[in-house]
Amino acid sequence: MKKLSLLALLVIAALTTALVACGGDDDDDAPAATDPNAYTRPQLLVDAAQLYKALSDPNLVIVDLRKKESYDAGHIPGAVWYDSAFLKDPDDKVYVIGEELFAEKVSGVGIDDTKTVVAYDDGNGLSATRFWWVLWYYGQEGSVLNGGFAKWQKDGLALSKEAPAVTKTAFKAAVNDEVICALDYVAEKSDNPDPNVVILDVRSPAEYTGADVRAAKGGHVPNAVNLDWTRSLTEAQPQVWKPAAELRSQFADAGIQPGAQVITYCQTGVRAAHSLFTLYLLGYDGLKNFDGSWQEWGNNKDTKIAR
C-alpha cells in the first residue's frame, strides 16, 4: 500500500472536520459553526494508524521523548530520540531551555521548518506536549501522537531498534512571546481579576488546596481555578485524549469559556503545557504557559497564596 505523507493526512483530517462543522452551508460569508464533537485543530493530534501510513514520508521527523533505555529497547521505526531534560534550561531547571541551545538540539535530530514533527512519549502526553510547546514557543508547530507508544504497541504496529541516520539541519528559532508569561504578569492578573482572563491551576486538588506542599509555600495563586490535567485523558489504558465535547464541558464547568485568555501553571510548567495543548486543540487562543509555575511562585517570599 502506498503511504501518504503525514502532512497530506493531516490536511485531509482538518478539511473533513471543517466540512462537517460547516454543515454544507453555501453562504460563503457565514461564519463556520463550531462542532462540539470535533477538535477545532485536529491536525495537532495524530492517530497511530495515521502515523503508520506516513512512515515513509521523507519530511517527517518522529521524536521519541521516553527514557533512552526504552528507546533502545524498541521504538517507532524512523523515530529519533530527544532527551527531555533539554526542554528546561539545564543550569537552573526552572525556565524554558534557551534559544541557541534548543536550536542546536533540534537541529541535531533533523528538525527545521520544512519538516512535519510528531512527538510521542510513553502514553500520557506529558513529555510530548512539553516538547510541542517548546517547539511552538520557538516558532514551529508540531503534532502529538495520541496515546503515545502505549497506543502504538496496543495496535500491534511495527517496532525498530535501529536509530536512523540523521542529517543535521539549521533550525532557526523565532521566539513567540505570546505563549509564555512571567511571574509579574500572573501576579497582576491575580490582583486585578478580569472575567476575560482565567488563571488555570492544572495540578492535583491536593496541591491546589495546600494539602500537598511541593515548595516553601503550599496553596494556589489567588483567583486561580483548578482542573487537574489528567482529566483531559481517558481512564482506560492506553490513555488518549477525551472526545472534544467532553473536554469542552469540563473546561466550561471550570469557568473557562471560548474567547477567554487562559494562563496555565502547575509545578514546573510541564503539566501546564499539556493543558495548554488541550485548550489549543479545542480552538482556544491567547494561551500562556506560566513556565516558572509553582516552583517559582511557591518559593518566592513576596507572592500571595490562597488555600
Q: What is the pLDDT of residues 86-139, one digit of tens each?
A: 999 999 889 999 999 999 999 999 999 999 999 999 999 999 999 999 999 999
* Three-state SS at 90: coil
Do 100 and 205 fall into the same domain? no
Do 197 and 145 fall into the same domain? no
Do 111 and 202 fall into the same domain? no
Region 287-298 average pLDDT:
98
pLDDT at 12 over 90: no
Binning pLDDT at 50, 70 and 90, where does residue 242 land?
Answer: very high
Question: Which H or E element spans position 9?
Answer: helix 6-22
Q: What is the dihedral of CA 44, 16, 20, 256, to 10 degrees?
A: 10
Do 87 and 130 fall into the same domain? yes
Total structural domains in the chain?
A: 2
Please tell me the predicted confidence (pLDDT) of residue 5: 60
Q: What angle do CA 68, 72, 76 make, to 5 degrees?
A: 100
Query: What is the rounded CA–CA span in Å between residue 3 and residue 49?
Result: 11
Please tell me the predicted confidence (pLDDT) of residue 35: 81
Do 141 and 184 fall into the same domain? no
Instruction: Say which CATH number the domain at 143 has.
Output: 3.40.250.10
Residue 307 lies in a domain: no
Residue 168 lies in a domain: no
Region 151-172 average pLDDT:
98
Q: Which domain holds residue 56?
A: 6-154
Do 10 and 149 fall into the same domain? yes
Q: Which of 154, 169, 198 is the last residue of a domain?
A: 154
Do 12 and 128 fall into the same domain? yes
Count CB-CB contacts under 10 A for residue 204.
17
Residue 221 lies in a domain: yes
Residues in the chain: 307
pLDDT at 1 over 50: no
The pTM is what?
0.91
Q: Which of 154, 186, 202 is the last residue of a domain?
A: 154
CA-based nearest residue to 44, from 174, 130, 132:
132
Residue 78 lies in a domain: yes
Beta bridge partners of 261: 197
Residue 103 lies in a domain: yes
For residue 33, give the DSSP letter: P
Cα-based distances in Å from 61 to 51, 71, 112, 225: 11, 15, 10, 37
Binning pLDDT at 50, 70 and 90, where does residue 37 land?
Answer: confident
